[in-house]
Each structure stands twice: as C-alpha cells, then as structure tokens.
C-alpha cells in the first residue's frame, strides 16, 4: 500500500459516516413530517365530523322556566263595591199638602224629633166634599173597628179565663185518675187555642187604631178633632242629613220622599259578586278594601251574603247574575273618616288561604287525557309529569302531588315541547 492510499482511507470512512448520519437525519425528518401530516389530517377529520354532527344534531328549544315554591296562597274574589250608611231612614210626607222650603242641608247633624219640614194644609177647593166625606167615613169606620176589636178582646179574654180554670180542674182530676187522657188534652188544647185567639184579637185592635190614626192624619185632625193648620215632619232618629229630595216649596203627595238621614259612623260596603263566586263566600271572611282614596288599605269582614240575586248587564253587554255581599269595616273610624256615602271601593274577599302550600305557576299546566300535566326540566330535557292540583289564585296554583319543591317547570309550553326534547332556559 502506498502512502497516498494510507492517507485516503480515513477520509473515505469519515465521509461515509457523515453520509449515513445525513441520510438518517433526512429519514427522521421525513418520518416526522409524515406523522405531522397525518395528525393534521386526523384533526381535520375529527373537526369535520364534529361540525357535521353539530349540524345534524337538533338545537335545544329555548323555553321560559318557572320554579315550584312553597309559601302562602290566598284565593280571593276581586270586585268593585260601594260604601253606604248601614241604617238609613227615608222621611216621607205623611199626607198631601203644601211643603214649605226645607232649610236643612246635606251634612247637617240633627237630633231625634227635630223638625225637618212642614206641611201646610192644601186650599179647601183642592179637597172636595166627596173626598173629605170619604176620609171621615174611613176614620169613623176605623174607630168603630177599634171598638169592635176591643169588645172581641174582652170576649176572648173572658173565655180564656174560663178555659184556664177548666184546664186547672182537668189537670187536678187527671192527676187523681178521674178523667181520661183525651179529656185532659182537650182542655189543654182549648186553652192554647184561646190564647192564640186573644193574641190575634189584640193585634186586630192595634191595626184598627193605626187605621184610625192614618185617617186622622189624612184629615189633619188632632186627638180632639180640631183642624190642624200645619203638620211638622220630624226626624225619626238622631243622625246626619244624607240627602234632601225636594228643597223648594211645592205641593207633595202622600208618601213623597222628602229627606234621607242616617248615622255616618255606621258604615257598610256593598259588593255585587257573581253568584258562581258568592257560593264560596262565608260570613266572617276577611276582606281588604282598597282604592277608596286613602293612602292605605282597610280591613273588614263579611257580615252577610244576601239570599236573593239580581241581574246586571256587564260593560260587554253580557247579562250576569249577581248577589250583594255586605262587608263591615273593622278599622277605627278615624282611619276612614273621609269615606262617605256612595263612595266607590275595590274589595278583595278571601275565599281560601293557607300559610304554607306547594305552589307552581298556573301557566305551566296543560291538559293531557283528562289530567293536568307539566313539563319538568331535568338534565337539559323536558320530562312530562302528571300532577294533582288544588286551589287557584291568580298566577299560582296549589300542587297537591306530582312534583317536588324546587322543580323547574316549562312555562307556556308550545306544541314543539314534547317528552324528552332538549331545552334551554332563557
């Protein structure tokens, strides 16, 4: 081997090693590039599948959701009412005559027996001889009837005293066993019959006396029979003048309304309620009175539900059957002193109330095969549940069984909401 050959051998070996290292590096780089390319394609494939799956998968329905809670529930009837004086007296003309100008005014406080108006006698030509003679005849007939009734009272009283003595003797004889039970009961029955007859006879006396007084008042006569120039119309009770029907002087007929009086401290509220609601109103039920003009609501209670209904045409032209519910105000008079006769109030009558019940929004309920059902939101899906409901109060309804407290219910479910559908809350 020459010297040149000896020097070139290490150089060739070195070049060969470098070539091998370069080739290995290229192979590694190529392998890495291949795996990176494969990874990118895999990621792109996964992303494409996810996009396709998301596009194919239905989107959750957006729904309104309400919760089942526990709390107080009150069922009420809300109607407009009218405040009025409970005891009012209409003072009418006792006879025909010329009414003098009435001086009292609405709001004046008057005492019992105070003169409210005066009736002057009508001019004689206005009362013909025939009418006067007929009135006098009625007065004489009433007086004769009173005398006849008194005589009948004396007769019945005498017969009753005799019957009582016979009954006492019959009772004694019956105790000894001398007379039969039938005879004893007959004497007792006769005594009771005469007692009833005596009461009827005494009532007949009072009726005859009243008829005589009416006839005398029509003639304008005093007890002695003197002609009375004028008749004073007095107040039957102590109170306040509520209304003056006829202020000016003029001719009035018998029974014409003159003045209306009452006690403004004795107030009541009249609420006209639909008969379908009135059947659930009970005496003593709590009532909240609002919208009367004061800054606070008044409390009261139902005193009476009138037994007879009446017809009323609503604002929509529908004929309704209503009944009056009378409400007493429980607040002190000082708290509603501004409330007066005829004022409008809004009454809220309590029909049913409980301090703690399970309640749900009534808009979540729907009918399904003669049952009430709801859609409960569970794990992002709507699940249909049958429920049993109780009382309803506005936007809430009592839940007896079917769902638990805290359950989330779909409100106003549409036709798209079915059992198992995915939903999302607004």
- The domain limits of the chain are 63-75+355-425, 128-222
What pLDDT sits at residue 13? 62
Question: How far apart are alpha carbons 367 and 418 in whole angstroms?
Answer: 13
- Which own/partner pairs from 351-356 qualify as long-range (CB within 8 Å, at least 24 positions apart)? 351/75, 351/76, 351/77, 351/277, 351/280, 351/281, 351/285, 352/74, 352/75, 352/280, 352/391, 353/72, 353/73, 353/74, 353/75, 354/72, 354/73, 354/398, 355/72, 356/70, 356/71, 356/72
What pLDDT sits at residue 53? 61
When pLDDT is cut at 50, 70 and 90, the band that residue 385 belongs to is: very high
323 forms beta bridges with 273
What pLDDT sits at residue 388? 92
Answer yes or no: are the C-beta atoms of 222 and 228 closer than 8 Å.
yes
Considering only residues 158 and 326, tell me which one the structure prediction assigns the higher pLDDT. 326
DSSP class of residue 363? Answer: G
What pLDDT sits at residue 347? 94
At the second CATH level, the architecture of 63-75+355-425 is Beta Barrel (2.40)
Closest of 331, 108, 303 to residue 339, by C-alpha: 331
Q: To the nearest whole percent, how much of the chain has pLDDT over 70?
A: 89
Question: How far apart are alpha carbons 171 and 33 in whole angstroms?
Answer: 136
What pLDDT sits at residue 359? 92
Angle between helices 129-176 and 181-219 (to 10 degrees): 160
- Lowest-confidence segment of 11-15, 41-45, 264-268, 398-402 by average pLDDT: 11-15
| Other Cβ atoms within 10 Å of 116 Cβ, number | 20
| Segment 100-125 mean pLDDT | 82
Secondary structure (3-state) at 53 = helix
What pLDDT sits at residue 61? 83
| Segment 124-148 mean pLDDT | 73
118 forms beta bridges with 232
Residue 227 scores a pLDDT above 50: no
407 alpha carbon, distance to own chain's centre: 33
| Segment 126-148 mean pLDDT | 75
Name the phi and psi angles at 404, rounded to 5.
-105, 165
Question: How far apart are alpha carbons 104 and 102 in whole angstroms?
Answer: 6
What pLDDT sits at residue 19? 66
- Report CA-CA distances (Å) from 133 to 88, 138, 140, 220, 348: 37, 9, 10, 14, 60
Question: How far apart are alpha carbons 184 and 47 in whole angstroms?
Answer: 115
When pLDDT is cut at 50, 70 and 90, the band that residue 12 belongs to is: low
When pLDDT is cut at 50, 70 and 90, the band that residue 15 belongs to is: low
When pLDDT is cut at 50, 70 and 90, the band that residue 123 belongs to is: low
What pLDDT sits at residue 237? 84
Answer yes or no: are the C-beta atoms of 89 and 239 closer than 8 Å.
yes
Closest of 321, 277, 323, 276 to residue 304, by C-alpha: 323
Instruction: Give the strand pairing for 371-378 and 267-274.
Output: unpaired
- Report CA-CA distances (Å) from 381 to 140, 268, 280: 95, 55, 41
Report which listed range, 37-51, 171-185, 390-404, is most confident.
Answer: 390-404
Question: How far apart are alpha carbons 273 and 287 in whole angstroms?
Answer: 13
Question: How far apart are alpha carbons 182 and 175 in whole angstroms?
Answer: 13
DSSP class of residue 404? Answer: -
What pLDDT sits at residue 387? 93
Q: Kindly give, in sequence order, each residue whose CB lies less than 8 Å from that of residue 383, ignoring residues fewer than 6 positions away.
A: 375, 376, 377, 419, 420
What pLDDT sits at residue 124? 54
What pLDDT sits at residue 1? 47
- Report CA-CA distances (Å) from 334 to 181, 265, 329, 331, 380: 67, 10, 12, 8, 58
What pLDDT sits at residue 301? 94
What pLDDT sits at residue 250? 85
Residue 114 scores a pLDDT above 80: yes
269 forms beta bridges with 83, 327
What pLDDT sits at residue 11? 62
Residue 418 scores a pLDDT above 80: yes
Query: Quick one: tokens of 374?
Result: 């709801």
Question: How far apart are alpha carbons 238 and 227 in whole angstroms?
Answer: 30
What pLDDT sits at residue 8? 57
When pLDDT is cut at 50, 70 and 90, the band that residue 5 belongs to is: low
When pLDDT is cut at 50, 70 and 90, the band that residue 10 belongs to is: low
- Supply angle C-alpha 114, 121, 244, rounded to 5: 40
Residue 223 scores a pLDDT above 60: no
Residue 287 scores a pLDDT above 90: yes
What pLDDT sits at residue 293? 86
Residue 7 scores a pLDDT above 70: no
Residue 275 scores a pLDDT above 50: yes
Considering only residues 333 and 35, tell me which one the structure prediction assigns the higher pLDDT. 333
When pLDDT is cut at 50, 70 and 90, the band that residue 308 belongs to is: very high
Average pLDDT for the chain: 82
Question: How far apart are alpha carbons 336 and 348 in whole angstroms?
Answer: 17
What pLDDT sits at residue 94? 87
Residue 182 scores a pLDDT above 90: no
- Write out 108-168 in H/E/C secondary structure: CEECCCCEEEEEECCCHHHCCHHHHHHHHHHHHHHHHHHHHHHHHHHHHHHHHHHHHHHHH
- Report CA-CA distances (Å) from 319 to 79, 314, 322: 16, 6, 10
When pLDDT is cut at 50, 70 and 90, the band that residue 226 belongs to is: very low
| Segment 137-159 mean pLDDT | 81
Identify the burial level of 99 via C-beta atoms within 10 angstroms of its C-beta, where 0-12 means exposed, 13-18 middle and 19 or more buried. buried
Q: To the nearest whole percent, how much of the chain has pLDDT over 90?
A: 26
């Amino acid at each position: 081997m020459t010297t040149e050959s000896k020097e070139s051998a290490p150089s060739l070996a070195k070049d060969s090693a470098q070539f091998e290292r370069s080739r290995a590096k290229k192979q590694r780089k190529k392998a890495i590039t291949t795996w990176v390319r494969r990874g990118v394609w895999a990621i792109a494939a996964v992303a494409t599948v996810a996009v396709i799956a998301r596009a194919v998968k239905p989107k959750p329905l957006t729904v309104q959701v309400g919760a089942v809670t526990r709390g107080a529930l009150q069922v009420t009837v809300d109607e407009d009412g009218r405040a009025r004086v409970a005891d009012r007296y209409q003072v009418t003309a006792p006879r025909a005559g010329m009414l003098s100008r009435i001086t009292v005014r609405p709001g004046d406080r008057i005492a019992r027996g105070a003169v409210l108006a005066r009736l002057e006698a009508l001019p004689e030509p206005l009362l013909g001889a025939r009418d006067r003679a007929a009135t006098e005849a009625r007065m004489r007939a009433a007086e004769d009837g009173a005398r006849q009734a008194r005589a009948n009272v004396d007769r019945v009283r005498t017969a009753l005293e005799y019957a009582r003595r016979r009954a006492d003797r019959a009772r004694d004889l019956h105790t000894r066993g001398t007379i039969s039970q039938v005879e004893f009961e007959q004497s007792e029955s006769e005594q009771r019959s005469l007692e009833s007859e005596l009461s009827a006879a005494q009532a007949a006396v009072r009726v005859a006396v009243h008829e005589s007084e009416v006839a005398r008042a029509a003639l304008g006569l005093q007890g002695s029979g003197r002609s009375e120039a004028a008749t004073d119309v007095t107040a039957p009770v102590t109170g306040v003048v509520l209304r003056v029907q006829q202020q000016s002087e003029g001719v009035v007929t018998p029974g014409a309304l003159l003045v209306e009086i009452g006690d403004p401290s004795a107030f009541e509220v009249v609420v006209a309620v639909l008969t379908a609601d009135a059947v659930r109103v009970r005496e003593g039920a709590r009532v909240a009175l609002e919208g009367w003009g004061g800054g606070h609501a008044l409390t009261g209670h139902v005193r009476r539900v009138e037994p007879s209904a009446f017809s009323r045409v609503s604002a929509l032209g529908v004929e309704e059957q209503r009944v009056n519910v009378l409400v007493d105000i429980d607040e002190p008079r000082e708290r509603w002193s501004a409330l007066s006769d005829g004022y409008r109030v809004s009454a809220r009558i309590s029909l049913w109330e409980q301090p703690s019940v399970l309640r749900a929004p009534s808009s979540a309920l729907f009918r399904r095969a003669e049952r009430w059902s709801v859609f409960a939101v569970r794990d992002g899906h709507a699940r249909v549940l049958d429920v049993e409901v109780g009382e309803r109060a506005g936007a809430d309804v009592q839940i007896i069984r079917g769902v638990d407290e805290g359950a989330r219910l779909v409100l106003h479910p549409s036709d798209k909401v079915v059992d198992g559908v995915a939903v999302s809350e607004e």
